[in-house]
Amino acid sequence: MSVQLQQYIAGDWVEGDGGLVTSTNPARPDEVVASGRQAGAAEVDRAVDAARRAARGWARTPAHERGAVLLAAAAHVEANAQAWGLELAREEGKTAAEGTGEVLRAAQILRYYGNEGDRTAGEVFSSPRRGERILVTRKPLGVVGVITPFNFPIAIPAWKIAPALAYGNTVVWKPASVVPLLAMRLAQALDAAGLPDGVLNLLIGPGSMGNELVEHPDLDGITFTGSTGVGRRLAAQGAARGVPVQAEMGGKNAAVVLADADLDLAAEQLMFGAFRSTGQKCTATSRLIVEDTVADEFLERLRARLDSWAVGDPTDPAIQMGPVIDAAARKSILAGIETSLRQGARVVAGGGAAGTGAYDGGPLAEGAFVAPTVLEVADGANACWREEFFGPVLTLRRASSAEEAFGLANDSEFGLSAAVFTQDLTRTLEAVDELDVGILHINSESAGADPHVPFGGAKKSGYGPKEQGAAAKEFFTHTTTVYLRGGAA
Ligand SMILES: NC(=O)C1=CN([C@@H]2O[C@H](COP(=O)(O)OP(=O)(O)OC[C@H]3O[C@@H](n4cnc5c(N)ncnc54)[C@H](OP(=O)(O)O)[C@@H]3O)[C@@H](O)[C@H]2O)C=CC1
Ligand SMILES: O=C(O)CCC(=O)C(=O)O
């Protein structure tokens, strides 16, 4: 059954003025998950205007009251976790278990920021002058544009929108157009929780609408997660207008398996890091570096796990990996694999469409499936080593030492996350010092992020302040430094 899509502007759920938009199930592209009209150009103005009108009142609402709305929204999201998790699996293609996990994660994030009123709201410094204190207080930016990607259709929006609102901003949000239903679900939860009119506005529309939003003269900040190309353009547009931009972009994350590692643990975690969510996480492992002496043994263990990795309908509880987001993504990933093979990569496992087995020719025959694939390359020039395919493709290189392995891990313009598998404390400490990444996992997969700690990339993966935890404050507020003296001489 297809769900009717609506825009949420100034507290009203309305049909958009633009053309038709539908989201479809990537496992069964004939199945429409949600449909409706997208927002028209005039609605961008209406949404920004509504957010502007709501900004002062929301900024002056006590932090605890703002938090109470987020806490109520968290409860609403949590109560719908199973149903929305299934919708997420149908709309985005990750497994229903991952979908439900993501919805629960959104609730956890809303709850974290719902309690922001109980945390520090500024700092007090000593003054070098008698009778004076120096306060640093924080104020919201104002109206923030939020632009989000398809791959975490409710968790990423939650970790942008929850801090934006908690710190007193109002929001105009444009989600990825392939996952509008989950966007609507989050906005519905905040609406049901009693968010005042205009504080959050949802515009379902194409990428060009994101561009109109970014160009809007009445926006005070832009937070974006998505591809590197769009993020960099958007950062330039923000800079040209003097508006702060936070952009979380691509990754080409490495897992390093050192000779002393627990190889079973490493193989298990590597499967999760590379192939959960069909490899469509910015933190997914897409490069694997193994010390020579254990490489063959490790690959054997990895292959054994790959052989039993169940690919298929993500709503089936037995399935471990669903399709990629759509046919275009599938085509581009398969083209990337072909280019890599032409450039000399060797197939260790997989290597193409997953159109085999139970659903070959069956109801999933048209689905956007890609087999979990491991390629081996001898040098760093190959496309699969350098470029983000954003799918279930892992590229292997062997290293003759831990030093070489860490060097190879750093051999990327990106620096979002990495994983290192070792039981040696000295090597662990070297990894912490050497690896140029925003997030480092020791003996666990490269993906995964808790809501109370900073999230974001080093090098060209991230632009602007980090997200989540207290770090989010650095983007969503600005400071006023107050030199404070009593009035009497
Ligand atoms: N570092 C991080 O934290 C994360 C990074 N990512 C990265 O995101 C990418 C995958 O997500 P994907 O959704 O395909 O990314 P895109 O960059 O294609 O899209 C992201 C968002 O930007 C919108 N958009 C597209 N063009 C423009 C434009 N010109 N101006 C403003 N907005 C625009 C999209 O709208 P529409 O959908 O309508 O085109 C969507 O809402 C990967 O590269 C991945 O690494 C993903 C998650 C986390
Ligand atoms: O690692 C995670 O769980 C979240 C990462 C993320 O934001 C992403 O992959 O898009």
* Model pLDDT for residues 252-267, shown as the tens digit of each residue: 999 999 999 999 999 9
Write the Ramachandran bin of 469: left for phi over 0, alpha for psi from -120 to 50, otherwise beta. left
CA of residue 433 to ligand 1 center, whole Å = 31
421 within domain boundaries: yes
Domain that holds residue 174: 3-249+461-483
Distance of CA 419 to the CA centre of its chain: 18
| Residues comprising the chain, all counted | 489
38 within domain boundaries: yes
**Are residues 265 and 242 both part of a single domain?**
no
The torsion angles phi and psi of 298, rounded to 5 degrees, stand at -65, -45
What confidence score (pLDDT) does residue 358 get?
45
**Are residues 167 and 308 both part of a single domain?**
no
What confidence score (pLDDT) does residue 350 get?
78
| Count of domains observed in the chain | 2
246 lines ligand 1 (CB under 6 A): no
**What single-letter amino acid sits at 468?**
Q
Closest by alpha carbon to 437, among 391, 400, 406? 406
- Distance in angstroms (rounded) separating the CA atoms of residues 428 and 443: 10
What confidence score (pLDDT) does residue 356 get?
46
Mutational pocket test of ligand 1: of 5, 94, 146, 150, the residue with most ligand atoms within 8 Å of the beta carbon:
150
150 lines ligand 1 (CB under 6 A): yes
10 Å Cβ neighbour count for 310? 12
83 within domain boundaries: yes
H/E stretch holding 99 reads: helix 96-114
395 lines ligand 1 (CB under 6 A): no
Please confirm, yes or no, whether 132 is among the known catalytic residues. Answer: no
Q: CB under 6 Å to ligand 2: residues?
A: 151-152, 156, 281-283, 447-449
456 within domain boundaries: no
- Distance in angstroms (rounded) separating the CA atoms of residues 21 and 133: 56
**Are residues 394 and 466 both part of a single domain?**
no
Closest by alpha carbon to 411, among 369, 444, 377? 377
CA of residue 147 to ligand 1 center, whole Å = 8
**Are residues 98 and 28 both part of a single domain?**
yes
CA of residue 262 to ligand 2 center, whole Å = 25
Q: Whose CA is nearest to atom 26 of ligand 1?
A: 207
**Are residues 182 and 39 both part of a single domain?**
yes
**Which DSSP state fits 94?**
S
390 lines ligand 1 (CB under 6 A): yes
Low-confidence ranges of the chain (pLDDT < 70): 352-361
What are the start-end ranges of the E strands in 153-218?
170-174, 200-202
**Are residues 79 and 161 both part of a single domain?**
yes
What are the start-end ranges of the E strands in 56-169?
122-126, 132-140, 143-147
Q: Which residue has the tokens 């275009």?
A: 328
Is ipTM beyond 0.90? yes
Q: Whose CA is nearest to atom 2 of ligand 2?
A: 448
- Distance in angstroms (rounded) separating the CA atoms of residues 107 and 110: 5
Q: What is the DSSP string of 423-435?
A: S-HHHHHHHHHH-
85 within domain boundaries: yes
Q: Which of 91, 212, 248, 445 is catalytic?
A: 248
Q: Whose CA is nearest to atom 27 of ligand 1?
A: 207
Mutational pocket test of ligand 1: of 38, 91, 151, the residue with most ligand atoms within 8 Å of the beta carbon:
151
- Distance in angstroms (rounded) separating the CA atoms of residues 303 and 294: 14
**Are residues 193 and 262 both part of a single domain?**
no
H/E stretch holding 384 reads: helix 383-386
CB 174 within 8 A of CB 213: yes
